[in-house]
Amino acid sequence: MTENDEPKDDTTVGNYFISNYPPFSFWSGNDVSLIDDVMGSPPVDDRPLGVYVHIPFCRKRCDFCYFKVYTDKNSREIRRYLDAVIHELEAYGKTPFIQGRKPRFIYFGGGTPSYLSANQMRTLFDAMKQRFDWSDVEEVTFECEPGTLSLSKVQALAELGVTRLSLGVENFDPEILELNNRAHRADEIHRTYGFARDVGFQSINIDLIAGMIGETDENWSRCVDQVLAMTPDSVTIYQMEVPYNTTIYRRMREDKKEVAPVADWDTKRRWTQEAFARLAAAGYRQSSAYTICRDQTVRFVYRDALWHGADMLGLGVSSFSHLGGNHFQNEHSYEPYVSRVEAGELPIARAFEMSDDERFIREFILQMKTGSVYPRYFQNKFDVDVRERFRSELAEHEAAGMLELEEESIRTTEQGLLQVDRLLPPFFLEEHRNARYA
């Protein structure tokens, strides 16, 4: 199937999860020079700025992983990469568009940021703080693979100012972790979580994936049991998909199979619904299609700012940026990325110059994932009446029980949130529908 088709009962290859707009397949190397135009002038408004840092190193590549990761880099190559990230940040910091601005959020994603040693973490953080004033930073998120964390690493992260630790648990069952080629094991999850609680992080998130290879009703229920016992500050649940650049898809292609060896969509949605219902009964509140939080104090500055049009500077190999209302992506491989930075260049490989209409659609579909969008916001910011613009699309989703059209808001129902990504393509511009997403 193409990525924008309605998912059938079986899971087949493609990107189900929509993380941006327009689709990445429309981004082009022909627009790379746009970065010079954007960086050459100060920002025209006071929208917040965030920084994303991609750490692409992992102990193993998970069979379902579609990110740019490396499992074969030695300490010298890692040091070279971190130096490049620092120099990239330094180059951006000298531009009129970035110079003097203070980031509101910093996000370290992977790969596996926690693959770095404590000394490497300190070197990276210290160098970034020398080049950017962090005094206005409200949130610093750090993604972790449980098996890579020691008490000393967790303590170092707390000392460096990380406010939100996100643990890529995915599943608690040893056999399922092994079947999906996860690097960590079940006992490491509880050990690492204990370290994080002892150190006293402001916010600890646990990631789960509904529908991994080998998943069963009984195992999923046990996973939710363990999450409830741990009482993390938030839980993020993704429904398993099989993008084209995964090991699972490579095996499917070799075996000439169209159906992935994972649970079907109805089952994944049922498991997700059951988990959210049990967490809600324990006092959690749902904050998006994927995330449920223990109390009202849990915030996601990275998500909410980005989904409302914030600037985000992406550093590192294959990283995405959203700057001045336009999209950019860095070189996709280690050597081209590092070499271009070392040569004094901004390592942009492809870009997309967005129209005001595309910016409006991007924010609308991303905010749909939170469960509520507010027409007045879009009227004030884009001068667009969303109820009129999307009259037929909204009516169709409302009739299907996916949306409720209220006086001040458009609310995504529980059933709608469980399959929100398949509700979004009808809001795309015609030329972006029914096309490969990534």
Determine the pLDDT at residue 6.
47
What sign does the dihedral 116-118-123-128 (CA atoms) show?
A: positive
Bond prior to 309 in cis (omega within 30° of 0): no
Report pLDDT for 352.
98
Residue 328's identity, in one-letter code, is F
Q: Output the CA–CA distances (angstroms, integers) from residue 329 to 35, 294, 298, 352, in the order listed.
A: 10, 34, 30, 9
Give the whole-angstrom CA distance, residue 352 versus residue 29: 9
pTM for the predicted model, two decimal places: 0.95
Class of CATH domain 27-306? alpha beta
Count of beta carbons in the 10 Å neighbourhood of residue 94: 10
Are 1-22+356-438 and 27-306 the same fold in CATH? no
Closest CA to 417 of 304, 285, 220, 259: 285
Phi and psi torsions of 382, nearest 5°: -115, -5
Of 326, 245, 337, give the one whose Cα is nearest residue 28.
326
Among 351, 350, 308, 344, which Cα is nearest to 92's?
A: 344
Which of 370, 384, 353 has the alpha carbon at shortest distance from 26? 353
Position 350, amino acid: R
Which residue ranges in the chain fall short of pLDDT 70? 1-8
* DSSP string across 219-285: HHHHHHHHHHHH--SEEEEEE--B-TTSHHHHHHHHHT-SB-SS--HHHHHHHHHHHHHHHHHTT-E
* Residue 126 contacts residue 94 (beta carbons within 8 Å): no
Radius of gyration of the chain (CA): 21
In order, the DSSP letters of 30-60 are: GGTTHHHHHHTS--SS---EEEEEEE-B-SS
Measured CA to CA in angstroms, residue 291 lies from 230, 415, 424, 437 at distances of 16, 15, 18, 23
pLDDT at 144: 97
pLDDT for 8 equals 56
Residue 281: partners with Cβ closer than 8 Å, 6 or more residues away: none
- Annotated domain spans of the chain: 1-22+356-438, 27-306
> Tens digits of per-residue pLDDT, 103-144?
999 999 999 999 999 999 999 999 999 999 999 999 999 999
Residue 279: both structure tokens together: 């967490």
Class of domain 1-22+356-438: mainly alpha
Nearest to 323 by CA among 18, 50, 139, 141: 50
* CA gap 292, 224 in Å, rounded: 13
Q: Residue-wise over 267-304: b if at least 16 C-beta within 10 A, else e?
A: bbbbbbbebbebbeeeebebbbbbbbbbeeebbbbbbb
